[in-house]
């Protein structure tokens, strides 16, 4: 035993060092806590009476601590902390040796420790016979949401969209690129955005003809960010004073949730021009008051969508309300070729793209089914079951585009006048 200090196992019924002294030592040690654990993990392990040892100086002060958590045959080191003035005296090795005895009594067969380079304890691990595993990487990320926030999300029927929705968005490459750069990237990398002075968007409006994927984009943004998704349905909010109160309550509750996409579809139902629909005045006023508070969070995004931006109350479209106003039109030539290749592989994508102006992803899905039905009918009659190019052409001819020429022309005019990118 080296002079000036001694190592003791912590008696959880009568601990040598109160928990607050352990926390103070961790703070003083600075680089002490194990790479995979926080101070709260240390306190939780001590409260759970997990194996622990301390080093106490002859003057009675705490100079070292080691805590582990036993899980089956493994003991995971939670912390090894040494006071800066007491390093290099063999205390770390002594603490690990005492901790080894404690975990053996709990049935553990090995002890594991994750340690960053240069962290306290590297020499102690070597002295105590720990083997270093090279080539291992620790992956870490915060959980998406805490239980209290999850309860709010579920109260409003929210959920976490499945992974992969963003990559599944086909036929909208230019819109995807725009949203990726202007919306997703700044929200996913807030430190970098702050470094260059870019404020991530907190409220965006998507507008475009029906069937062009506005709802899918909102849900895919949440999936891409691994954020919760809540849709506030206008029909459930109501109208007039009642609707305004329901909207205020919902937004107040959701303002307490971080990492959230709040989606309001058919925005024209609740924020239509008050001159044309005076019954909406209370809701428009409430939203105008609530948006600044919602925007005060750094990890929240409100997405509203409408088929016609011209019906939205002008006060909602002024700068300062929506950070971005993004047009979402029908797939262009390249997008339609992508959809053709994805959904109707028997076709010539470029040819089908030239024949399908105004087609949406849903229209292409219908073409695929109609093509398959023709092949199926032929097979039932004893013919070739393979979907042929002629089947696809016939299916295209039988399908009416969801976005008419008139709707496309109107959308192009609105895009020039209202888009804010």
pLDDT in tens, 36-74: 777 788 888 888 889 999 999 998 899 999 999 999 889
CATH number at residue 99: 3.40.630.30
Same domain, 310 and 350: no
Instruction: Work out the pLDDT band at 379, boundaries 50, 70, 90.
Output: very high
Q: What are the φ and ψ backbone dihedral angles of 268, each rounded to 5 degrees?
A: -65, -15
Instruction: Work out the pLDDT band at 11, boundaries 50, 70, 90.
Output: confident
Q: What is the pTM of this model?
A: 0.71
- Residues 164, 162: Cα–Cα separation, whole Å: 7
pLDDT at 32 over 60: no
Same domain, 227 and 305: yes
Instruction: Work out the pLDDT band at 416, boundaries 50, 70, 90.
Output: very high
Q: Which of 118, 30, 25 is nearest to 66 (CA)?
A: 25
CATH number at residue 347: 1.10.8.60
- Residues 94, 107: Cα–Cα separation, whole Å: 21
Degrees (nearest 5) of the Cα angle 98, 99, 105?
100
Q: Would you tell me how many other CB atoms lie within 10 Å of the CB of residue 298?
A: 13
The residue out of 294, 319, 344 marking a domain boundary is 319
Q: What percent of the chain has pLDDT over 90?
A: 47
3 state DSSP class of 331? coil
User: Facing residues of 76 across strands?
Assistant: 69, 112
Q: Give the H/E segment covering residue 378.
A: helix 361-380
The pLDDT value recorded for residue 16 is: 60
Is 186 contained in some domain? no
Same domain, 159 and 305: yes
Give the highest mean pLDDT range of 85-99, 145-159, 188-202.
Answer: 188-202
**In b/e form, how buried is each residue of 280-297, taking b as 16+ CB within 10 angstroms?**
bebbbebbbebbeebbeb
Give the tokens for residue 84: 């800066």
115 or 156, which is more confident: 156
User: Facing residues of 205 across strands?
Assistant: 304, 325
Same domain, 224 and 248: yes
Instruction: Work out the pLDDT band at 369, boundaries 50, 70, 90.
Output: very high
Is 418 contained in some domain? no
Give the highest mean pLDDT range of 13-27, 112-126, 180-194.
Answer: 180-194
CATH number at residue 259: 3.40.50.300
Instruction: Work out the pLDDT band at 140, boundaries 50, 70, 90.
Output: low
- Residues 120, 80: Cα–Cα separation, whole Å: 7
Instruction: Work out the pLDDT band at 132, boundaries 50, 70, 90.
Output: confident
Same domain, 228 and 267: yes
pLDDT at 1 over 50: no
Same domain, 269 and 153: yes
Is 291 contained in some domain? yes
Is 140 contained in some domain? no
Give the tokens for residue 386: 């393979």
The pLDDT of 384-402, averaged and rounded, is: 94
The pLDDT value recorded for residue 418 is: 94
* Residues near 89 by beta carbon (within 8 Å), at least 6 away in sequence: 2, 4, 5
pLDDT at 35 over 70: no
- CB 133 within 8 Å of CB 114: no
CB under 8 Å, gap of 24 or more: what pairs does 268-276 form?
A: 268/306, 268/307, 268/308, 268/311, 268/312, 269/234, 269/235, 270/234, 270/237, 270/243, 271/304, 271/312, 271/313, 271/316, 272/311, 272/312, 272/313, 273/311, 273/312, 273/313, 273/314, 274/313, 274/315, 276/311
Is 421 contained in some domain? no
The residue out of 319, 345, 361 marking a domain boundary is 319
Same domain, 268 and 371: no
The pLDDT value recorded for residue 277 is: 62
Same domain, 153 and 241: yes
The pLDDT value recorded for residue 304 is: 94
Is 247 contained in some domain? yes
The residue out of 288, 319, 350 marking a domain boundary is 319
Q: Which of 145, 102, 89, 74 is nearest to 8 (CA)?
A: 102
- Residues 371, 12: Cα–Cα separation, whole Å: 72
The pLDDT of 216-231, averaged and rounded, is: 94
Chain-wide mean pLDDT for the chain?
Answer: 87
Is 303 contained in some domain? yes
Boundaries of domain holding 302: 147-164+197-319
Same domain, 159 and 283: yes
pLDDT at 167 over 80: yes
Instruction: Work out the pLDDT band at 200, boundaries 50, 70, 90.
Output: very high
Same domain, 11 and 122: yes
Overall domain count for the chain: 3
The pLDDT of 238-263, averaged and rounded, is: 87
Instruction: Work out the pLDDT band at 275, boundaries 50, 70, 90.
Output: low
Same domain, 219 and 104: no
Same domain, 222 and 270: yes
**In b/e form, how buried is each residue of 178-191, taking b as 16+ CB within 10 angstroms?**
bbeebbbebbeeee
pLDDT at 18 over 80: no
Is 173 contained in some domain? no
N-term to C-term CA, the chain: 70
């Amino acid at each position: 035993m080296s002079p000036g200090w001694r190592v003791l196992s912590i008696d959880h019924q009568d601990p040598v060092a109160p928990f607050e002294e352990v926390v103070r030592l961790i703070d003083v040690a600075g680089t002490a806590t194990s790479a995979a654990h926080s101070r709260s993990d240390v306190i939780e392990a001590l409260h759970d009476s997990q194996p622990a040892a301390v080093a106490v100086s002859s003057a009675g002060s705490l100079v070292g601590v080691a805590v582990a958590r036993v899980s089956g045959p493994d003991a995971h080191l939670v912390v090894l902390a040494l006071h800066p003035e007491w390093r290099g005296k063999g205390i770390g090795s002594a603490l690990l040796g005492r901790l080894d005895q404690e975990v053996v009594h709990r049935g553990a067969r090995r002890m594991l420790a994750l340690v960053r380079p240069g962290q306290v304890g590297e020499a102690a691990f070597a002295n105590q016979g720990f083997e270093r595993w090279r080539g291992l990487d620790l992956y870490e990320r915060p959980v998406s949401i805490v239980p209290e926030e999850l309860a709010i999300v579920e109260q409003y029927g929210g959920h976490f969209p499945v992974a992969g929705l963003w990559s599944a968005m086909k036929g909208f490459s230019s819109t995807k690129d725009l949203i990726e750069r202007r919306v997703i990237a700044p929200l996913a990398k807030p430190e970098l955005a702050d470094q260059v002075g870019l404020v991530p968007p907190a409220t965006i409006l998507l507008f475009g003809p029906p069937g062009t994927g506005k709802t899918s984009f909102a849900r895919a943004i949440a999936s891409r960010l691994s954020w919760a998704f809540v849709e506030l349905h206008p029909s459930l909010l109501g109208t007039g004073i009642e609707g305004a109160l329901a909207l205020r309550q919902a937004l107040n509750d959701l303002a307490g949730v971080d990492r959230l996409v709040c989606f309001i579809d058919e925005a024209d139902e609740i924020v239509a021009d008050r001159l044309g629909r005076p019954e909406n005045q209370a809701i428009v006023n409430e939203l105008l008051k609530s948006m600044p508070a919602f925007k005060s969070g750094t990890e929240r995004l409100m997405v509203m969508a409408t088929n016609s931006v011209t019906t939205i109350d002008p006060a909602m479209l002024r700068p300062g309300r929506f950070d971005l106003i993004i047009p979402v039109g029908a797939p262009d030539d390249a997008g339609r070729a992508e959809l053709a290749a994805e959904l109707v592989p028997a076709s010539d994508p470029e040819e089908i793209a030239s024949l399908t102006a105004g087609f949406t992803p849903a229209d292409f899905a219908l073409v695929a089914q109609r093509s398959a039905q023709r092949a199926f009918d032929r097979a039932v009659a004893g013919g070739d079951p393979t979907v042929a190019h002629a089947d696809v052409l016939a299916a295209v001819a039988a399908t009416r585009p969801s976005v008419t020429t008139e709707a496309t022309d109107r959308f192009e005019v609105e895009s020039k006048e209202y888009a804010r990118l």
